[in-house]
C-alpha cells in the first residue's frame, strides 16, 4: 500500500485501483512555540557570554577567578551558541516543517515534550558544570560523561519521534528539506557517540579513550562535522522550507538539490583533518582533509545557489520584507564562509591562519551570518503564524537586520585583521634570520584595537537580537496560540510498491559502489597504480552518466524519485555515505602501528602522579582554549618554541591538548624554560612577569588543594586506557605525588615563596615543568628507566622523598 497526499481541492478522479481518503490533520505547533522561545532566550545568553569573553580578551580584569575566567566561559559561550541557540532553533524549524511536509502530526507528543525538557535540562546542566570547571577538555564536546549520556538519550528520543512521523506520513514523496533533516539526525548521533567515548573516574570526571593524535583526529572529525551536521545541514533543510515559503517563489532546481545533497553528505565527513594541518597528524590524513575540503566548495555553493536563485525576480520583495532580507543575507554569508573554509584548508594558508583570530572570524561569519540570520528570518516569518497575527513591528525587524549586518562586518573584519597581523608577526624574521617579535606579548598587544572593535561588533549584533526578542514577544502577546490544520486527500493505492531490490541494486548504487571500490584501491597501490585507478574511476563515472542519460525514460519516475518515497532506504543510503569518510580516516589511524608502548615509555615516560593532577587543573581551567601544545614544523615556530612535535610527544595524553588557538604562546616545550617561582608568580599575576598580558589572574590556585586520596584512581584509569604504569606506580601514586610536591615547595621556599604542598598550583607547576621534558631525575616514576639530558637539580633535599 502506498499513500500520497494531494491538496484537498481540485483533485481529479482517482486512477483505477486507487481510493481517495480524506484526512483532517491538526499539527502540533505547541512544541514549535516552546522551542522558539527557548532558542530566543538562549541566543541572548550565548551572545551575552560571547560579549563577556570578548571583553575578557581585551580587558583582563573582566576575568573573575575562579568561576568566571575566559577558560571556563569560552566553552559555555560555544556550547550555548551551538547547542542551546541553534539547537533549539533547528528543532523548532524541524518540528514545524516536518509535520507540514509529511502532512502528519508528530508521532508522539510525549516524546516531543521529553525531547524539549530533556534538552533544556542538558543546557542548564552545561551552564552549571562548565563555570565549575567540570569538563572533558574536548572543544564543543566539553560536557562530562553523565551529560553526554543524557544527550545521546535525548537525541535518540528525538530521532524515534522524527522517524515515526516519517513512517506515518501522508505524503509519500519526501521533499529535500527532509533529506537534510534525516542526514543531520543520523550523523550527529554517530559523531557524538564516537567522540564522547571516555572512561569515567568519578561521577563528574572522565578521560577520553583516545590519546594524542588519535584523539585529535576523532575530535576534529567530530568538531568539523558538528559544524557540518548541526549548524549547516539542518539549517539548509530549514532554508529549503522557509525561503520559498516566505518568497512565494518556486525552488530553483530539483536536480541541483539531489547533486549537492549527496555530494555534501559524502564529502563533508572527510574534511575534519583540515583542523590539524601541519601538525603531527600523519601526512596522508592531512592531505585527505585538504583535498576533500576543496571539493566541498561547489557542493556548499549548490545550497547557496538554490537559495539565491529561488529569489530571482523577487528582489523588490527582498527590499521590503525583513524576512527575505535575513534569508538572502544569511545564504550569502553561508556562501562566503563556505568559500573561506576551503581556502583556509590549503596547507599554506592554514600555516598562516591556524591558531589565530582569522579562524574566530571565519566561524562567526557562519554563526552570526548564516545561523543567526536564518534563525531571525525563520522566527520573523513563523512566530506571527504560530500566534495567528502579524509581526508586531516590521520596522524594528528591518533595523535589526541592519544592526546585525553592521555587527557581523565589524566582527569579521576585525578578526581578519587581527588574525593575519598576528600570523605575520609570528613568522616575521629580521635580516639576520632571528624572530622580529621574539616576545609573544608584542604580537598580542598589537591586536588590542581589533579586540575592542570586535566587542563593538558583537554588542551591536546583540542589540539587534534583543530587538528581535522584544518584537517576537510583543507579536506573541498580541496574538493567540493557534495550531495549523490541514485537510488532505490521501491516495490509498493497492498497487504493489516498487520492490526494494530495484532501488538497492539500482544503477546509481551499482555505479557508486564500483567507483568507490576502484578509488579505495588507491590505498593499496603505488603512485602509478593510484593514477590508473583514478582514471578508471573517472571513465566508469562518465560512461555511467552517459548511459544513464540515454536510458532515461521521462514517463517513469527515476531512481532518485523512488528513493524519495522510501524513508528507510533513504536513511540507510545516508548512513553509508556518511560512514565511508569517517571509517576511511579513523580506522587506519586506530590500527596503525605505533611506537611500542614500553619502548616509548623508556624514552618518554608517562606523567608522574602529581603531573597528572596538575594536568587535570590545566584542563579544568580551560588552558587549552588559549594555549596550544603542538609546535608545527616551521622554522619560526621552532625558533620560538623548540623542536616541532611528533606523534610520540602526546601519546600519553588522554585527552590530547593540542589546542586550536594561541591567544598565549605554545606550551608544548615550556617545561624547564622558567624556574618554578616564575610559574607560581605568573599564574597569580601574569602581568608582574609579562606586562601587557591578558591572561586571567588565577588567584584561587595557591589555596585550592588537590585531594591526593583520589590520585591513585586517576593513575589506574590511565593504565586502563593503555598508559604503561606499573602496579608500584599506581599503589604509590599518593606518596610519589606528595614527595614531588614537597620538592617543588622546597624549591619555591628557596626563592622566597611559602607554598602549601597540597596546593593545586604546585601540581600545575609540576605539569608545566614537565611539558616537553623527561622527568627531573629524583622525580622519576618508580621502575621507569630514565635517560638524562638535564643537569641534576640542586634543589634542597626533599623532606618526603620516601619512595
**Residue 259 lies near another protein (rule: CB under 8 A):** yes
Q: Do residues 46 and 84 touch, judged by C-beta distance below 8 A?
A: yes
Q: Give yes or no for residue 292 binding another protein (CB under 8 A).
A: yes
Beta bridge partners of 6: 489
Neighbours of 197 (CB within 10 A): 13
Q: How far is the CB of 284 from another protein (least distance, A)?
A: 6
Residues 748 and 795: their CA atoms lie apart, in Å, by 9
Among 7, 26, 124, 599, binds another protein (CB under 8 A): 7
Handedness of CA 572, 578, 582, 588 (dihedral sign): positive
If DSSP codes are grouped into helix, strand and coil, which group holds residue 783? coil
Joined together, the cell numbers standing for residue 145 give 560523561
Site string for another protein, 726-765 (x = CB under 8 A): -------------------------x--------------
Taking the complex as a whole, how short is the minimal distance between the CB of residue 441 and another protein, in angstroms? 9
Positive or negative: CA dihedral 313, 319, 323, 328: positive
Measured on CA atoms in the order 747, 750, 756, 759, is the torsion positive or negative? negative
Element (H, E) at 198: strand 198-202
> Cell numbers 485501483 label which residue?
17
Looking at the Cβ atoms of 613 and 637, the one nearer to another protein is 637
What the block records as the C-alpha cell of 307 is 537559495
Q: Which is nearer to another protein, 8 or 482 (CB)?
A: 8
Q: What distances in angstroms separate CA 795 from CA 41, 73, 682, one per listed residue? A: 56, 38, 21
Residue in 100, 115, 138, 627 binding another protein, rule: CB under 8 A:
100
Q: How many angstroms separate the CA atoms of 123 and 118, rounded? A: 9
Q: 300 to 329, contacts with another protein by CB under 8 A?
A: 301-302, 305, 309
Q: Which stretch binds another protein (CB under 8 A): 203-211, 372-380, 573-581, 787-795?
A: 787-795
Q: Applying CB under 8 A, what is the total number of residues that bind another protein?
A: 92
Q: Grid coordinates standing for 549?
A: 542519460
Shortest reach from residue 646's CB to another protein, in Å: 8
Range in contact with another protein (rule: CB under 8 A) among 136-144, 225-233, 602-610, 635-643: 635-643
Residues 27-86 that bind another protein (CB under 8 A): none
678 forms part of the interface with another protein (CB under 8 A): yes
DSSP 8-state secondary structure symbol assigned to residue 661: B
Q: Is 553 in the site for another protein (CB under 8 A)?
A: no
- Residues 486-525 interacting with another protein (rule: CB under 8 A): 522
Q: Are 642 and 796 in contact (CB under 8 A)?
A: no
Edge to edge, the sheet with strand 18-26 lists 2-7, 485-493, 18-26
**The binder of another protein chosen from 291, 498, 509, 511 (CB under 8 A):** 291
Closer Cβ to another protein, 444 or 460, answer by number: 444
Q: Which stretch binds another protein (CB under 8 A): 7-15, 46-54, 447-455, 650-658?
A: 7-15
**Helix H or strand E encompassing 398:** helix 394-427
Whose Cβ is closer to another protein: residue 72's or residue 275's?
A: 275
C-alpha 261/C-alpha 174 separation (Å) is 13
Q: Does 675 bind another protein (CB under 8 A)?
A: yes
* Least gap, CB of 321 to another protein (angstroms): 17
What are the grid coordinates assigned to 652, written together?
Answer: 600519553
Per CB under 8 A, contacts with another protein among 682-711 are: 689-690
Cβ atoms 238, 374 nearer than 8 A = yes
Closer CB to another protein, 163 or 297, in the complex: 297
Place of cell 564529502: 267
Q: Which is nearer to another protein, 292 or 767 (CB)?
A: 292
User: SS3 letters for 534-603?
Assistant: HHHHHHHHHHHHHHHHHHCCCCCCCHHHHHHCCHHHHHHHHHHHHHHHHHHHHHHHHHCCCCCHHHHHHH
Does the protein bind another protein through residue 442 (CB under 8 A)?
yes
CA-based radius of gyration for the chain: 28
The stretch among 459-467, 470-478, 598-606, 786-794 that binds another protein (CB under 8 A) is: 786-794
Minimum CB–partner distance for residue 521 and another protein (Å):
13
The interface region with another protein, picked from 241-249, 409-417, 575-583, 589-597 by CB under 8 A, is 241-249
Q: At closest approach, how far in Å is the CB of 283 from another protein?
A: 5
H/E element holding 22? strand 18-26
The residue from 204, 638, 786, 801 that contacts another protein (CB under 8 A) is 638
Residues counted in the chain: 803
Q: For residue 18, give the H/E element and its range.
A: strand 18-26
Among 148, 171, 611, 616, binds another protein (CB under 8 A): 171
- Which segment (86-94, 503-511, 589-597, 638-646) binds another protein by CB under 8 A? 638-646
By CB under 8 A, tell whether 6 contacts another protein.
yes
The distance of closest approach from Cβ of residue 124 to another protein in the complex, given in angstroms and rounded to an integer, is 35
Site for another protein in 583-622 (CB under 8 A): none
Instruction: State which residue, 171 or 613, has the beta carbon closest to another protein.
Output: 171
Among 8, 26, 64, 534, interactor with another protein by CB under 8 A: 534
Amino acid at each position: 500500500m502506498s499513500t500520497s497526499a494531494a491538496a484537498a481541492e481540485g483533485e481529479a478522479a482517482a486512477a483505477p485501483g486507487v481510493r481517495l481518503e480524506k484526512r483532517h490533520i491538526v499539527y502540533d505547533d505547541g512544541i514549535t512555540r516552546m522551542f522558539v522561545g527557548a532558542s530566543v532566550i538562549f541566543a541572548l545568553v550565548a551572545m551575552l557570554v560571547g560579549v563577556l569573553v570578548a571583553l575578557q580578551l581585551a580587558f583582563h580584569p573582566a576575568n573573575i577567578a575562579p568561576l568566571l575566567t575566559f577558560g571556563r566561559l569560552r566553552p559555555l559561550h560555544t556550547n550555548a551558541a551551538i547547542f542551546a541557540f541553534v539547537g533549539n532553533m533547528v528543532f523548532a524549524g524541524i518540528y514545524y516543517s516536518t509535520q507540514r511536509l509529511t502532512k502528519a502530526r508528530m508521532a508522539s507528543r510525549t516524546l516531543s515534550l521529553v525531547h524539549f525538557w530533556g534538552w533544556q535540562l542538558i543546557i542548564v546542566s552545561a551552564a552549571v558544570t562548565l563555570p565549575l570547571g567540570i569538563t572533558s577538555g574536548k572543544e564543543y564536546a566539553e560536557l562530562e560523561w553523565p551529560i553526554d549520556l543524557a544527550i545521546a538519550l535525548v537525541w535518540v528520543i528525538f530521532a524515534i519521534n522524527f522517524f515515526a512521523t516519517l513512517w506515518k506520513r501522508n505524503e509519500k514523496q519526501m521533499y529535500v528539506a527532509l533529506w537534510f533533516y534525516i542526514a543531520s539526525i543520523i550523523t550527529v548521533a554517530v559523531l557524538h557517540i564516537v567522540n564522547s567515548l571516555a572512561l569515567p573516574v568519578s561521577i563528574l570526571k572522565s578521560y577520553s579513550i583516545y590519546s594524542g593524535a588519535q584523539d585529535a583526529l576523532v575530535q576534529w572529525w567530530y568538531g568539523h562535522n558538528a559544524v557540518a551536521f548541526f549548524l549547516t545541514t539542518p539549517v539548509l533543510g530549514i532554508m529549503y522550507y522557509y525561503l520559498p515559503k516566505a518568497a512565494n517563489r518556486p525552488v530553483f532546481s530539483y536536480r541541483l538539490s539531489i547533486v549537492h545533497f549527496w555530494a555534501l553528505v559524502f564529502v563533508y565527513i572527510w574534511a575534519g583533518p583540515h583542523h590539524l594541518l601541519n601538525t603531527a597528524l600523519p601526512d596522508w590524513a592531512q592531505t585527505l582533509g585538504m583535498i576533500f575540503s576543496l571539493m566541498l566548495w561547489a557542493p556548499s555553493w549548490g545550497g547557496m545557489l538554490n537559495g539565491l536563485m529561488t529569489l530571482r525576480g523577487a528582489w523588490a520583495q527582498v527590499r521590503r520584507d525583513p524576512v527575505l532580507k535575513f534569508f538572502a543575507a544569511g545564504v550569502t554569508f553561508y556562501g562566503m564562509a563556505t568559500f573561506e573554509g576551503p581556502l583556509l584548508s590549503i596547507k599554506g594558508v592554514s600555516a598562516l591562519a591556524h591558531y589565530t583570530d582569522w579562524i574566530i572570524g571565519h566561524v562567526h561569519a557562519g554563526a552570526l551570518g548564516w545561523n543567526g540570520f536564518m534563525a531571525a528570518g525563520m522566527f520573523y516569518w513563523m512566530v506571527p503564524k504560530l500566534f495567528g497575527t502579524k509581526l508586531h513591528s516590521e520596522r524594528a525587524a528591518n533595523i535589526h537586520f541592519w544592526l546585525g549586518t553592521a555587527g557581523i562586518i565589524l566582527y569579521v573584519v576585525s578578526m581578519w585583521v587581527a588574525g593575519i597581523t598576528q600570523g605575520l608577526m609570528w613568522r616575521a624574521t629580521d635580516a639576520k634570520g632571528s624572530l622580529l617579535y621574539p616576545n609573544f606579548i608584542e604580537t598580542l598587544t598589537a591586536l588590542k584595537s581589533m579586540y575592542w572593535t570586535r566587542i563593538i561588533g558583537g554588542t551591536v549584533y546583540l542589540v539587534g537580537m534583543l530587538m528581535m526578542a522584544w518584537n517576537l514577544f510583543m507579536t506573541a502577546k498580541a496574538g493567540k496560540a493557534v495550531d495549523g490544520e490541514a485537510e488532505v486527500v490521501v491516495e490509498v493505492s493497492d498497487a504493489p510498491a516498487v520492490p526494494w531490490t530495484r532501488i538497492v541494486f539500482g544503477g546509481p548504487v551499482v555505479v557508486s559502489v564500483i567507483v568507490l571500490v576502484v578509488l579505495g584501491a588507491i590505498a593499496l597501490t603505488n603512485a602509478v597504480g593510484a593514477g590508473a585507478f583514478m582514471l578508471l574511476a573517472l571513465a566508469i563515472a562518465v560512461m555511467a552518466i552517459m548511459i544513464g542519460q540515454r536510458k532515461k525514460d521521462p514517463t517513469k519516475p527515476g531512481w532518485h524519485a523512488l528513493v524519495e518515497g522510501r524513508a528507510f532506504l533513504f536513511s540507510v543510503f545516508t548512513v553509508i555515505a556518511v560512514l565511508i569518510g569517517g571509517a576511511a580516516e579513523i580506522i587506519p589511524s586506530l590500527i596503525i602501528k605505533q611506537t611500542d608502548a614500553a619502548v616509548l615509555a623508556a624514552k618518554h615516560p608517562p606523567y608522574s602522579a602529581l603531573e597528572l593532577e596538575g594536568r587535570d587543573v590545566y584542563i579544568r581551567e580551560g588552558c587549552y582554549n588559549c594555549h596550544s601544545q603542538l609546535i608545527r614544523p616551521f622554522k619560526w615556530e621552532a625558533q620560538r618554541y623548540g623542536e616541532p612535535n611528533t606523534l610520540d610527544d602526546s601519546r600519553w595524553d588522554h585527552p590530547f591538548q593540542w589546542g586550536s588557538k594561541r591567544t598565549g604562546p605554545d606550551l608544548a616545550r615550556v617545561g624547564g624554560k622558567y624556574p618554578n617561582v616564575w610559574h607560581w608568580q605568573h599564574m597569580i599575576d601574569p602581568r608582574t612577569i609579562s606586562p601587557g598580558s591578558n591572561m586571567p589572574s588565577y588567584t584561587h590556585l595557591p589555596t585550592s588543594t588537590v585531594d591526593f586520596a583520589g590520585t591513585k584512581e586517576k593513575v589506574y584509569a590511565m593504565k586502563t586506557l593503555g598508559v604503561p604504569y606499573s602496579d608500584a606506580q599506581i599503589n604509590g601514586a599518593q606518596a610519589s605525588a606528595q614527595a614531588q610536591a614537597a620538592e617543588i615547595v622546597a624549591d619555591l621556599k628557596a626563592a622566597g615563596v611559602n607554598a602549601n604542598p597540597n596546593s593545586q598550583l604546585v601540581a600545575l607547576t609540576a605539569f608545566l615543568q614537565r611539558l616537553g621534558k623527561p622527568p627531573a631525575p629524583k622525580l622519576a616514576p618508580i621502575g621507569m628507566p630514565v635517560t638524562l639530558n638535564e643537569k641534576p637539580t640542586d634543589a634542597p633535599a626533599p623532606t618526603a622523598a620516601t619512595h
